[in-house]
Amino acid sequence: MRSAVPASSLPFFSKNMPSFSLSDRSELLRETWIQKEGYPYAFDPTACAACGGACCTGESGYIWVRYDEMNAIADFLELDLEDFGRMYLRKVKHRYSLTEKEISQGDFACIFFDAQQKRCTIYPVRPRQCRTYPFWETFKSNEEEVRNECPGIV
Ligand code: SF4
Separation CA 90–CA 95 (nearest Å): 9
Distance of CA 39 to the CA centre of its chain: 18
Instruction: Please write the tens of the pLDDT for every residue from 15-52.
Output: 444 455 656 656 666 778 999 999 999 999 999 988 99
CA of 112 to the centre of ligand 1 (A): 6
Query: Rounded CA gap, 120 and 54, in Å?
Result: 11
pTM of this structure? 0.79
At 79-137, the pLDDT tens digits run 999 999 999 999 999 999 999 999 999 999 999 999 999 999 999 999 999 999 999 99
Contacts of 134 (CB under 8 A, 6+ apart): 41, 43, 55, 146, 149, 150, 152, 153
Say which DSSP state 100 is in: E
Pocket test for ligand 1, best of 128, 130, 133, 149 (most atoms within 8 A of CB): 130
Pocket test for ligand 1, best of 56, 65, 88, 117 (most atoms within 8 A of CB): 56
How far is ligand 1, taken at its centre, from the CA of residue 110, in Å? Answer: 6
- How far is the centre of ligand 1, averaged over its atoms, from the C-alpha of 141 (Å)? 24
What is the overall mean pLDDT for the chain?
A: 86
Q: Where are the domains of the chain?
A: 40-149
